[in-house]
Protein backbone atom coordinates (compact mmCIF):
# COMPACT_ATOMS: atom_id res chain seq x y z
CA UNK A 1 0.00 0.00 0.00
CA UNK A 2 2.99 2.33 0.18
CA UNK A 3 6.10 2.90 -1.92
CA UNK A 4 8.91 5.43 -2.24
CA UNK A 5 10.60 6.20 -5.54
CA UNK A 6 13.33 8.53 -6.78
CA UNK A 7 13.63 9.98 -10.27
CA UNK A 8 16.04 12.43 -11.89
CA UNK A 9 15.38 15.52 -13.97
CA UNK A 10 16.33 15.50 -17.64
CA UNK A 11 17.64 18.01 -20.16
CA UNK A 12 16.03 17.86 -23.59
CA UNK A 13 18.68 18.04 -26.35
CA UNK A 14 15.94 18.02 -29.00
CA UNK A 15 13.05 19.71 -27.23
CA UNK A 16 9.44 18.65 -26.86
CA UNK A 17 7.54 21.84 -27.69
CA UNK A 18 3.88 21.44 -28.61
CA UNK A 19 1.08 18.97 -27.95
CA UNK A 20 -1.32 17.33 -30.35
CA UNK A 21 -3.58 16.27 -27.45
CA UNK A 22 -3.68 18.38 -24.27
CA UNK A 23 -5.62 15.89 -22.14
CA UNK A 24 -3.52 12.79 -22.83
CA UNK A 25 -0.32 14.87 -23.18
CA UNK A 26 0.64 13.68 -26.65
CA UNK A 27 3.42 15.57 -28.43
CA UNK A 28 3.53 17.00 -31.94
CA UNK A 29 6.93 15.39 -32.55
CA UNK A 30 9.65 13.30 -30.92
CA UNK A 31 12.30 14.52 -28.47
CA UNK A 32 15.61 13.28 -27.03
CA UNK A 33 16.95 14.00 -23.56
CA UNK A 34 19.76 13.28 -21.17
CA UNK A 35 18.72 12.22 -17.66
CA UNK A 36 20.67 14.39 -15.20
CA UNK A 37 22.75 13.14 -12.30
CA UNK A 38 22.09 14.68 -8.87
CA UNK A 39 18.84 16.49 -9.70
CA UNK A 40 16.37 14.20 -7.95
CA UNK A 41 12.83 14.13 -6.66
CA UNK A 42 11.93 11.58 -3.97
CA UNK A 43 8.26 10.72 -3.58
CA UNK A 44 6.34 8.55 -1.12
CA UNK A 45 2.82 7.39 -1.98
CA UNK A 46 0.67 5.63 0.63
CA UNK A 47 -2.87 4.52 -0.16
CA UNK A 48 -4.87 4.88 3.03
CA UNK A 49 -8.53 3.81 3.40
CA UNK A 50 -9.02 6.27 6.28
CA UNK A 51 -8.42 9.31 4.02
CA UNK A 52 -11.41 11.14 2.58
CA UNK A 53 -9.35 13.00 0.03
CA UNK A 54 -5.83 12.88 -1.38
CA UNK A 55 -3.31 14.56 0.92
CA UNK A 56 -0.51 15.97 -1.21
CA UNK A 57 2.57 17.60 0.25
CA UNK A 58 5.51 19.10 -1.61
CA UNK A 59 8.54 19.89 0.52
CA UNK A 60 6.44 19.36 3.65
CA UNK A 61 3.75 21.87 2.59
CA UNK A 62 0.22 20.85 1.81
CA UNK A 63 -0.77 21.62 -1.78
CA UNK A 64 -4.26 22.98 -2.45
CA UNK A 65 -5.52 21.52 -5.71
CA UNK A 66 -2.69 19.87 -7.59
CA UNK A 67 -4.79 18.94 -10.58
CA UNK A 68 -2.12 17.01 -12.41
CA UNK A 69 -1.02 15.00 -9.34
CA UNK A 70 -4.62 14.01 -8.66
CA UNK A 71 -5.14 13.23 -12.33
CA UNK A 72 -2.26 10.77 -12.24
CA UNK A 73 -3.50 9.20 -8.99
CA UNK A 74 -6.93 8.72 -10.60
CA UNK A 75 -5.37 6.90 -13.55
CA UNK A 76 -3.49 4.60 -11.16
CA UNK A 77 -6.66 3.95 -9.13
CA UNK A 78 -8.57 3.07 -12.29
CA UNK A 79 -5.80 0.69 -13.41
CA UNK A 80 -5.67 -1.00 -9.97
CA UNK A 81 -9.45 -1.09 -9.48
CA UNK A 82 -9.46 0.86 -6.21
CA UNK A 83 -10.93 4.16 -5.06
CA UNK A 84 -8.68 4.45 -2.02
CA UNK A 85 -7.26 7.97 -1.45
CA UNK A 86 -3.54 8.56 -1.08
CA UNK A 87 -1.00 10.47 0.93
CA UNK A 88 1.78 11.86 -1.27
CA UNK A 89 5.00 13.36 0.12
CA UNK A 90 7.44 14.72 -2.40
CA UNK A 91 10.84 16.38 -1.86
CA UNK A 92 13.19 17.91 -4.40
CA UNK A 93 16.80 17.07 -3.61
CA UNK A 94 18.13 19.80 -5.90
CA UNK A 95 21.06 21.32 -3.98
CA UNK A 96 20.01 24.96 -3.55
CA UNK A 97 18.48 25.38 -6.94
CA UNK A 98 15.83 28.04 -6.52
CA UNK A 99 13.70 28.29 -9.64
CA UNK A 100 14.82 24.96 -11.01
CA UNK A 101 11.55 23.09 -10.58
CA UNK A 102 11.29 19.86 -12.48
CA UNK A 103 7.97 18.36 -13.40
CA UNK A 104 9.94 15.59 -15.17
CA UNK A 105 11.55 14.15 -12.04
CA UNK A 106 8.41 14.80 -9.98
CA UNK A 107 6.01 12.91 -12.24
CA UNK A 108 8.43 10.07 -13.02
CA UNK A 109 8.88 9.47 -9.26
CA UNK A 110 5.14 9.82 -8.66
CA UNK A 111 4.25 7.35 -11.44
CA UNK A 112 6.66 4.73 -10.08
CA UNK A 113 5.72 5.18 -6.39
CA UNK A 114 1.95 5.38 -7.00
CA UNK A 115 1.81 2.37 -9.33
CA UNK A 116 3.84 0.20 -6.92
CA UNK A 117 1.86 1.37 -3.90
CA UNK A 118 -1.32 0.33 -5.76
CA UNK A 119 0.14 -3.14 -6.36
CA UNK A 120 0.87 -2.62 -10.07
CA UNK A 121 4.21 -3.74 -11.49
CA UNK A 122 4.68 -1.20 -14.28
CA UNK A 123 8.02 -1.04 -16.04
CA UNK A 124 9.48 0.34 -19.25
CA UNK A 125 6.92 1.54 -21.78
CA UNK A 126 3.94 1.12 -19.41
CA UNK A 127 5.61 3.21 -16.70
CA UNK A 128 6.71 5.81 -19.26
CA UNK A 129 3.15 6.12 -20.62
CA UNK A 130 1.84 6.68 -17.10
CA UNK A 131 4.48 9.31 -16.25
CA UNK A 132 3.69 11.07 -19.57
CA UNK A 133 0.15 11.69 -18.40
CA UNK A 134 1.48 13.74 -15.47
CA UNK A 135 3.94 15.79 -17.52
CA UNK A 136 5.23 15.08 -21.01
CA UNK A 137 8.93 15.38 -20.21
CA UNK A 138 8.49 12.94 -17.27
CA UNK A 139 8.08 10.00 -19.64
CA UNK A 140 11.80 10.37 -20.46
CA UNK A 141 12.97 10.40 -16.80
CA UNK A 142 11.85 6.78 -16.43
CA UNK A 143 15.20 5.82 -18.04
CA UNK A 144 18.78 6.85 -17.30
CA UNK A 145 21.29 8.15 -19.83
CA UNK A 146 20.09 9.21 -23.30
CA UNK A 147 16.38 8.72 -23.93
CA UNK A 148 14.03 9.22 -26.89
CA UNK A 149 10.30 9.92 -26.56
CA UNK A 150 8.52 8.30 -29.51
CA UNK A 151 5.59 10.61 -30.28
CA UNK A 152 3.29 7.85 -31.58
CA UNK A 153 0.32 8.48 -33.82
CA UNK A 154 -2.60 6.65 -32.19
CA UNK A 155 -5.32 8.88 -30.70
CA UNK A 156 -5.33 6.92 -27.41
CA UNK A 157 -1.61 7.57 -26.82
CA UNK A 158 -0.74 3.89 -26.38
CA UNK A 159 2.22 4.24 -28.78
CA UNK A 160 3.58 7.44 -27.18
CA UNK A 161 6.31 6.57 -24.66
CA UNK A 162 10.09 6.70 -24.23
CA UNK A 163 12.80 4.22 -25.11
CA UNK A 164 16.43 4.17 -23.90
CA UNK A 165 19.00 5.18 -26.54
CA UNK A 166 22.24 4.78 -24.56
CA UNK A 167 22.87 4.04 -20.86
CA UNK A 168 24.24 6.43 -18.23
CA UNK A 169 27.83 5.14 -18.62
CA UNK A 170 27.83 5.44 -22.43
CA UNK A 171 29.44 8.88 -22.37
CA UNK A 172 31.09 10.96 -19.64
CA UNK A 173 29.39 14.19 -20.72
CA UNK A 174 29.50 16.97 -18.09
CA UNK A 175 26.53 19.35 -17.98
CA UNK A 176 26.84 22.64 -16.11
CA UNK A 177 23.54 24.07 -14.92
CA UNK A 178 24.03 27.81 -14.82
CA UNK A 179 21.44 29.49 -12.62
CA UNK A 180 20.93 33.12 -13.52
CA UNK A 181 19.38 35.79 -11.34
CA UNK A 182 15.90 36.62 -12.54
CA UNK A 183 12.80 38.16 -11.01
CA UNK A 184 10.54 37.54 -13.96
CA UNK A 185 7.48 35.34 -13.51
CA UNK A 186 7.58 32.66 -16.15
CA UNK A 187 4.87 31.45 -18.47
CA UNK A 188 4.38 27.73 -17.64
CA UNK A 189 5.76 25.49 -20.38
CA UNK A 190 2.29 24.05 -21.13
CA UNK A 191 0.97 27.57 -21.81
CA UNK A 192 4.07 28.55 -23.79
CA UNK A 193 3.65 25.46 -25.98
CA UNK A 194 -0.06 26.03 -26.52
CA UNK A 195 0.53 29.61 -27.62
CA UNK A 196 3.36 28.50 -29.91
CA UNK A 197 1.26 25.78 -31.62
CA UNK A 198 -1.77 28.03 -32.02
CA UNK A 199 -0.22 31.36 -32.96
CA UNK A 200 3.47 31.15 -33.87
CA UNK A 201 3.95 31.41 -37.64
CA UNK A 202 7.22 29.49 -37.20
CA UNK A 203 5.56 26.44 -35.64
CA UNK A 204 5.23 24.31 -38.83
CA UNK A 205 8.91 24.86 -39.65
CA UNK A 206 9.91 24.01 -36.07
CA UNK A 207 8.07 20.71 -36.32
CA UNK A 208 9.75 19.77 -39.61
CA UNK A 209 13.18 20.70 -38.34
CA UNK A 210 12.69 18.60 -35.19
CA UNK A 211 12.72 15.44 -37.34
CA UNK A 212 16.07 16.41 -38.86
CA UNK A 213 17.51 17.27 -35.43
CA UNK A 214 16.42 13.88 -34.04
CA UNK A 215 18.33 12.03 -36.77
CA UNK A 216 21.49 14.09 -36.25
CA UNK A 217 21.33 13.75 -32.49
CA UNK A 218 20.93 9.96 -32.57
CA UNK A 219 24.07 9.86 -34.70
CA UNK A 220 25.96 12.21 -32.33
CA UNK A 221 25.07 10.03 -29.34
CA UNK A 222 26.03 6.77 -31.06
CA UNK A 223 29.40 8.23 -32.13
CA UNK A 224 29.98 10.28 -28.95
CA UNK A 225 30.50 13.31 -31.18
CA UNK A 226 30.43 16.32 -28.84
CA UNK A 227 30.69 18.90 -31.60
CA UNK A 228 27.66 17.50 -33.44
CA UNK A 229 25.64 16.94 -30.26
CA UNK A 230 26.41 20.43 -28.98
CA UNK A 231 25.67 22.13 -32.26
CA UNK A 232 22.33 20.33 -32.71
CA UNK A 233 21.27 20.86 -29.09
CA UNK A 234 22.17 24.57 -29.08
CA UNK A 235 20.50 25.28 -32.43
CA UNK A 236 17.40 23.32 -31.40
CA UNK A 237 17.11 25.30 -28.16
CA UNK A 238 17.53 28.63 -29.97
CA UNK A 239 14.83 27.65 -32.44
CA UNK A 240 12.43 26.63 -29.66
CA UNK A 241 12.84 30.04 -28.06
CA UNK A 242 12.45 31.78 -31.43
CA UNK A 243 9.16 29.93 -32.00
CA UNK A 244 7.92 31.00 -28.55
CA UNK A 245 9.04 34.63 -29.04
CA UNK A 246 7.09 34.72 -32.31
CA UNK A 247 3.84 33.63 -30.60
CA UNK A 248 1.00 36.04 -29.86
CA UNK A 249 1.30 37.33 -27.22
CA UNK A 250 5.05 36.64 -27.32
CA UNK A 251 6.58 34.23 -24.80
CA UNK A 252 10.04 35.33 -23.63
CA UNK A 253 11.83 33.08 -21.15
CA UNK A 254 15.19 34.83 -21.16
CA UNK A 255 16.49 37.35 -18.68
CA UNK A 256 19.53 39.61 -19.18
CA UNK A 257 21.58 36.93 -17.40
CA UNK A 258 20.58 34.34 -20.00
CA UNK A 259 22.06 36.48 -22.77
CA UNK A 260 25.17 37.19 -20.72
CA UNK A 261 25.77 33.44 -20.30
CA UNK A 262 25.07 32.76 -23.99
CA UNK A 263 27.55 35.46 -24.97
CA UNK A 264 30.18 34.00 -22.61
CA UNK A 265 29.67 30.45 -23.91
CA UNK A 266 30.25 31.70 -27.45
CA UNK A 267 33.35 33.65 -26.45
CA UNK A 268 34.83 30.66 -24.59
CA UNK A 269 34.11 28.46 -27.59
CA UNK A 270 36.04 30.85 -29.82
CA UNK A 271 38.95 30.45 -27.37
CA UNK A 272 38.86 26.70 -27.96
CA UNK A 273 36.81 25.40 -25.01
CA UNK A 274 34.04 22.86 -25.62
CA UNK A 275 30.82 24.60 -24.60
CA UNK A 276 27.28 24.40 -25.99
CA UNK A 277 24.18 25.97 -24.46
CA UNK A 278 20.57 24.82 -24.07
CA UNK A 279 17.69 26.57 -22.28
CA UNK A 280 14.33 25.12 -21.27
CA UNK A 281 11.21 27.16 -20.48
CA UNK A 282 13.05 29.49 -18.11
CA UNK A 283 16.10 31.77 -17.88
CA UNK A 284 18.70 29.22 -16.72
CA UNK A 285 21.30 27.83 -19.13
CA UNK A 286 22.55 24.25 -19.37
CA UNK A 287 26.06 24.04 -20.78
CA UNK A 288 27.27 20.79 -22.38
CA UNK A 289 31.02 20.30 -22.26
CA UNK A 290 33.88 17.80 -22.09
CA UNK A 291 35.67 16.49 -18.99
CA UNK A 292 38.89 18.42 -19.75
CA UNK A 293 37.05 21.75 -20.14
CA UNK A 294 34.48 21.44 -17.32
CA UNK A 295 36.44 23.01 -14.44
CA UNK A 296 37.65 26.04 -16.44
CA UNK A 297 34.17 26.61 -17.82
CA UNK A 298 32.56 26.34 -14.40
CA UNK A 299 34.97 28.96 -12.98
CA UNK A 300 34.38 31.37 -15.89
CA UNK A 301 30.59 31.10 -15.73
CA UNK A 302 30.37 31.25 -11.91
CA UNK A 303 32.34 34.53 -12.03
CA UNK A 304 29.63 36.33 -14.02
CA UNK A 305 27.69 38.77 -11.80
CA UNK A 306 24.36 37.65 -13.32
CA UNK A 307 25.01 34.03 -12.29
CA UNK A 308 23.89 32.95 -8.81
CA UNK A 309 25.14 29.36 -8.89
CA UNK A 310 26.58 26.70 -11.17
CA UNK A 311 25.58 23.07 -10.55
CA UNK A 312 27.71 20.32 -12.05
CA UNK A 313 25.81 17.38 -13.47
CA UNK A 314 26.11 14.75 -16.16
CA UNK A 315 24.37 11.56 -17.27
CA UNK A 316 22.09 10.28 -14.51
CA UNK A 317 20.27 7.05 -13.57
CA UNK A 318 16.79 5.68 -14.27
CA UNK A 319 13.84 6.13 -11.92
CA UNK A 320 14.13 3.62 -9.08
CA UNK A 321 12.21 2.25 -6.14
CA UNK A 322 13.61 2.82 -2.64
CA UNK A 323 11.10 0.65 -0.87
CA UNK A 324 7.59 -0.76 -1.07
CA UNK A 325 5.38 -2.60 1.39
* Cβ–Cβ under 8 Å, residues 270 and 145: no
Closer Cβ to ligand DP6, 138 or 301, answer by number: 138
Residue 237 touches ligand DP6, criterion: CB under 6 A: no
Can residue 284 be called a binding residue for ligand DP6 (CB under 6 A)? no
Residue 313 near ligand DP6 by CB under 6 A: no
Q: What do you get for the CA distance between the two ends of the chain, in Å? A: 6
Q: Which burial class, exposed, middle or buried, applies to 181 when counting CB atoms under 10 A from its CB (0-12, 13-18, 19+)? A: middle
Q: For residue 181, give the 3-state DSSP assignment.
A: coil
209 forms part of the interface with ligand DP6 (CB under 6 A) = no
Binding mask 60-99 for ligand DP6 (x = CB under 6 A): ----------------------------------------
**HEC string for 3-50:** EEEEEEEEEEEECCCCEEECCCCEECCCEEEEEEEEEEEEEEEEECCC
Of the two residues 47 and 203, which places its CB atom closer to ligand DP6 in the complex? 203
**Shortest reach from residue 227's CB to ligand DP6, in Å:** 22
Half-sphere exposure of 298 (CA within 13 A, CB side): 15
Q: Tell me the CA distances in angstroms from 142 to 110, 233, 246, 259, 318, one per residue in order.
A: 11, 21, 32, 32, 6
Q: 70's torsion region: left (phi>0), alpha (psi -120 to 50) or beta?
A: alpha
Rounded Cα–Cα distance for residues 142 and 161 (Å): 10
User: If binding is defined by CB under 6 A, does position 135 make contact with ligand DP6?
Assistant: yes
The 176-195 contact track toward ligand DP6, x by CB under 6 A, reads: -------------xx-----
CB of 325 to ligand DP6, least distance (A): 30
* Binder among 136, 174, 257, 283 for ligand DP6 (CB under 6 A): 136
- Residue closer to ligand DP6, measured from CB, 188 or 323: 188
Residues sharing a CB contact under 8 Å with residue 123, sequence separation 6 or more, in sequence order: none
Q: Which long-range contacts (CB under 8 A, 24 or more apart) does 263-272 make?
A: 264/300, 264/301, 264/304, 265/301, 268/297, 268/300
Closest CA to 86 of 100, 101, 98, 75: 75
Residue 251 found at the interface with ligand DP6 (CB under 6 A)? no
Which range, of 9-17, 71-79, 155-163, 241-249, touches ligand DP6 by CB under 6 A? 9-17
- Cα–Cα nearest to 28, from 14, 16, 42: 16
Interaction of residue 105 with ligand DP6, rule CB under 6 A: no
Q: Does residue 280 belong to the site contacting ligand DP6 (CB under 6 A)?
A: yes
User: Binding to ligand DP6 by residue 25, rule CB under 6 A?
Assistant: yes
Q: Looking at 8-16, 57-65, 80-88, 179-187, which segment touches ligand DP6 (CB under 6 A)?
A: 8-16
Give the residue closest to ligand DP6 by C-beta.
Answer: 136
User: Does 281 interact with ligand DP6 (rule: CB under 6 A)?
Assistant: yes
Residue number, 19 or 231, with CB nearest to ligand DP6: 19
- Binding flag, residue 241, ligand DP6 (CB under 6 A): no
| 137 to 166: interface string for ligand DP6, x by CB under 6 A | x-----------------------------
The count of residues interacting with ligand DP6 (CB under 6 A) is: 13
In sequence order, what are the beta bridge partners of 71? none
* Interacting residues with ligand DP6 (CB under 6 A): 12, 15-16, 25, 31, 103, 135-137, 189-190, 280-281
Amino acid sequence: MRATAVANANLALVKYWGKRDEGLILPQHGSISLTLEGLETRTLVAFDPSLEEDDIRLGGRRVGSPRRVQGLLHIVRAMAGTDCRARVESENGFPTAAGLASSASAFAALALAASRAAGLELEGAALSRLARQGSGSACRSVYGGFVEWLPGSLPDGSDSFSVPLAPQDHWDLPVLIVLVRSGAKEVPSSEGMRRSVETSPFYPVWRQQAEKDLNLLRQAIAERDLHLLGRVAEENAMRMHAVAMAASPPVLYWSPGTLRVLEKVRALRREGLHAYASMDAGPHVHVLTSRDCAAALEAELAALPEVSEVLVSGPGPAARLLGAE
